[in-house]
A and B are shown apart, each in its own frame.
Chain A
Amino acid sequence: MRRFQVACMCIAGLWMSGAAYAHHSMEGFDRAKNVTLVGTVKQFKWANPHSWIEMEVPNDKGGVDTWNIEMTAPFVLVRAGWKSTSLKPGDKVTVVGHPQKTGEPGALFVSVTTATGETLTDRPPAAATPTPAK
């Protein structure tokens, strides 16, 4: 199984992903692409103004890369069903994010799927169309 996949993403929804949820420039992320990371949670920070996930991802060279996944504000995540306990160190997860254009191990959060199969994003689950933080 490829642990590192980069796939094109459809344009719909790109305009609001990340940029609308961040307080600063998102120029460094390639929001036209997704990277899928399969690895282990090292730390999940539940904090203002941004939450983040630090995770360890095995690379193709037999080593392990530490990735930082930048997330939005906790109050937005709460509305998307998140809790401070949603992720714990040691959790095996699959994270989808927009990668950094430089190739550095960092990404802008899109979704996470836990070992139990639960998927969390930063949008309310019932939302018919993507809307910014409400």
Chain B
Amino acid sequence: MRKQFEMAKVILTAGLFVTSAFSVMAQSAPPVPAPPPAQLGALAPSNIAKPRPKPAFDITGTWLHAFSRDNPFTFSPPAGFKLTPEAQVHYDAAKKARAEGKAYHDDIGQCWPAGLPLIMTRVWPIAMIQKPTAIYMVSGFMNSVRIIYLDGRPHTDPDVIIPSFNGESIGHWDGDSLVVDTVGFVDDHHWLDSGIPLSDKTHMVERMRLLGDGATLEIEYTISDPKSWAGEWKWTKRWKRVDDTDITEASCLPDLNAHMPSVTSKSVNVR
């Protein structure tokens, strides 16, 4: 009996010691930093109501890329371009495929999102809605959604941002232009042009202006991707306002694709 009493004393003493040790540790641990204030959503009425300088223009409308010889829908590399060795492999393979009348990694045809910048120059119109806090773009092609935040928020922490094909766009007004900075892209199945991959290191800056009484949208593109090429590549593209149409629902579906020779032919599509 005495032996059992001694054993209980030992256990109790050890328990008290451990408890007090944890207590000391808890008191000496650095304080947990307070979480940053939550970012108000772009459609929160209290965010929209905040006082802001008058924007240079209202892009709200339906827009269609104004395809012509001097305004192609493609983003071809500039003269004298230099690719990284990794990208050069894709480029050479695409060139070989083209010479054989084949398509190289036609991911868009296989229902992968076009992503920026190609989503902007498809032959389906884009609905654009501007609020003081953001511009919402919905493409008539696959209903791809793009949001350009105008409420002063910074880019999301790179460790938190969710990679996407359209990336994360933050815009600010600069004179008559809207300057849009986009990062946060996916690292695969995303192409600038045939055989030129875009990666998670893609950085895109767009300078948007409205011309001709608001009938024309002009965007100057500056795109870099150190995983694929050296330096910055630039293009200027134009869109026309189309007031006589709306976007519609569009889905890339297997049963529709089954009747599309360009995407079903295994002998044509090189992967």
Contacts and interface: CB of A to CB of B under 8 A. Distances in A.
Contact of B122 (A23, A43, A47, A68): A23
B260 A75 contact: no
Q: Which of B68, B109, B125, B259 has most chain A Cβ within 10 Å?
A: B259
B103 A68 contact: no
A52 B203 CA distance: 37
Contact of B64 (A52, A101, A133): A133
A45 interface: yes
A91 interface: no
A116 interface: no
Given A75-B140, A102-B268, A68 B260 contact: yes
A28 B67 contact: no
A64 interface: no
Interface in B238-271: 240, 242, 245, 248-252, 256, 259-265, 267-269
Q: Which of B98, B114, B123 has most chain A Cβ within 10 Å?
A: B123
B119 to A, nearest CB: 10
Given A16-B67, A20-B67, A102-B268, A75 B259 contact: no
A118 to B, nearest CB: 23
A60 interface: no
B142 interface: yes
Interface in A104-131: 104, 106-108
Contacts of B267: 102, 104
A22 B261 contact: no
Q: Is the interface of A mostly helix, strand, loop or mixed?
A: loop
B108 A75 contact: no
Nearest to A67: B261
Given A22-B262, A23-B108, A27-B268, A49 B250 contact: yes
Given A23-B109, A100-B261, A133-B64, A45 B268 contact: no
Contacts of B240: 134
Nearest to B247: A75
A15 B195 CA distance: 21
Q: Is the interface of B mostly helix, strand, loop or mixed?
A: loop
A28 B256 contact: no
B108 A24 contact: yes
- Size class of B's contact patch? 35 or more
Interface residues of A, number: 38
B261 A70 contact: yes
A54 B123 contact: no
A43 B258 CA distance: 13
Given A48-B250, A101-B268, A108-B262, A27 B97 contact: yes
A28 B122 contact: no
B118 to A, nearest CB: 9
B194 interface: yes
B261 A133 contact: no
Contacts of A102: 101, 265, 267-268
B73 interface: yes
A25 B106 contact: yes
Interface in A21-58: 21-30, 43, 45, 47-50, 52, 54
Contacts of A45: 256, 259
Q: Would you list the 10 A-B pairs with minimal beta carbon distance, nearest first?
A: A106-B261, A24-B109, A25-B103, A28-B268, A48-B250, A132-B67, A25-B106, A101-B101, A27-B103, A24-B108
